[in-house]
Structure 1
Amino acid sequence: MDIVTATIGHRTDLEVGAAIDPLHLTADQRASGHLVAVSEGGRRVRISLPRGTELQDGDVLARAEGVAIVVLAAEEELFRLRPGKDAPGKDALCWAAACWQLGNLHRPVRFTDDGLLTPRDPMVAGFLDSIGQPYEPVVCPFAGYRVTGDQGYRHGHGHGHDHVHAPGHSHDHTHAHAGHHEHHPHDHGEDAT
C-alpha cells in the first residue's frame, strides 16, 4: 500500500454497509503522524502525515480492494473522573483542583459528556486521593473533547473534521486548562541551575 499522507474522509461519510478494515491506534499513535501499523484485516499501513496532524477516531486512511481502512481509537488503561453531585460545594472545589493540577502536570486529558479521561498514573492517583476527588480505573478508547491553548474547546472524536491546526502545532501537550502556562523551574520542583 502507498504511504498515507492525508485522510480521505470520515467513517460517517461512508455509504451504509460499506466494508471497513479497522486500524486500532492508541492516542500516542494517533498523535505521532509517522508510523507503520497493521490493520485488523492484516493490511500493513504506512502513515506519514504533516507535522501537527492528529488522526481522529473514524478517520478513513485509504481504500484497498473496496474496503475502507478506518482509524479506531484503541482501548487504553485510563482513569475516569466525574464531577460529584452529593456535596456540590466541596465536590466543585475538588473537581476544579483536579482539572487545574492535571493541566499543571501536563497530563493529557479528554473531556467526555459527563467527566474526563486521563491515562493511569500512580502520581495522579495519589494526588486525586489526597484531595478526595473520586476516580475509577477504566479500559476504553482515549477519545473525547480536548482543550488546547490555540484552539479552545475542540471535539476529538465522532466526526473527525477538526484537522485545521496552527503551523508547527504539536498535540503532545494537551492540558486540562486552556490558559497560558509559563514554565518556571520552581513549578515542578526542578533545580533552577
Structure 2
Amino acid sequence: MAVTLTQRLTAYAGGAIQQTLSLTAEERTRSRHRFDMPDGQVVFLQLPRGTVLQNGDVLQSDDGQRVQIISKAEPVLTVQAETPLALLQAAYHLGNRHVPLEITSAYLRLSPDPVLRDLLQHRGLQITEEMQPFQPEMGAYGHSH
C-alpha cells in the first residue's frame, strides 16, 4: 500500500502519527519523490516545489495519514575551533564556496569533502568524521542550494 503526502502541517497540534520517515539533508530537499519504508510501504512526496523539510516536520496525506520527518544520521565533518573568530572565519570561507553548512556557536558541520577538509586543517581547525543528523542552514531566502 502506498501513501501520498501532499501537505506539511504548519501548526501541528498533536494527534496520531502513523509513522516516521528518516531522511538525509539532501533527501529533505526533494518535494517530489518516492521512498520505500523499512516495512515495505511506499511513501510518495507531492509537496509544493521548493519545499525543504526539517527535523520534526509533520506531513499529511489527503486521507489524513500523518508522517513525521526525522533527520537521518549521515557522514559529516564536524569542525571545531579554539576561538569563536576562527570558527567564524571558517564559516566565511565555506560560505564563499556555497557549501551546505550547519552552523552553531560550538561547531560547523558539512558533508565530507577532501579539498574542504584540507582547507580547514590548513587553517588549524579540528575536524572529526562522524555519523550525525545534518541540518544545513536554509539560506537567506529560505531555500537551499
Same fold (TM over 0.5): yes
TM-score, length of structure 1 as denominator length:
0.63
Deviation at 1:117, TM superposition (A): 1.2
Aligned match of 1:26 in 24, 27, 35?
24
Tell me the number of residue pairs that the alignment of Structure 1 and Structure 2 aligns.
144
Distance, in Å, in 1 between the alignment partners of 2:119 and 2:139 is 23
Distance, in Å, in 2 between the alignment partners of 1:66 and 1:58 is 18
Deviation at 1:108, TM superposition (A): 0.4
Deviation at 1:82, TM superposition (A): 2.7
Corresponding residue for residue 159 of structure 1? none
> Which structure has more strand as a fraction of its residues?
2
Distance, in Å, in 2 between the alignment partners of 1:24 and 1:52 is 19
Aligned to 1:69, the other structure's residue is in SS state: strand
Deviation at 1:9, TM superposition (A): 5.2
Task: Tell which structure's C-alpha radius of gyration is larger.
Answer: 1
Deviation at 1:118, TM superposition (A): 0.8
Relative to structure 1, the CA distance from residue 13 to residue 108 in structure 2 (aligned partners, 3 Å threshold; closer, same or farther) is same
Distance, in Å, in 2 between the alignment partners of 1:93 and 1:136 is 19
Corresponding residue for residue 110 of structure 1? 102
| Unaligned segments of structure 1, at least 5 residues | 85-90, 151-164, 174-193
Aligned to 2:74, the other structure's residue is in SS state: strand
Amino acid at match of 1:4: L
Deviation at 1:28, TM superposition (A): 0.8
Amino acid at match of 2:77: F
Corresponding residue for residue 148 of structure 1? 139
TM-score, length of structure 2 as denominator length:
0.82
Identity across matched positions, percent: 26
Deviation at 1:67, TM superposition (A): 6.5
Runs of 4+ in 1 over 4 A off after TM superposition: 63-67
Contact 2:22–2:70 (Cα < 8 Å) also in 1: yes
| Unaligned segments of structure 2, at least 5 residues | none
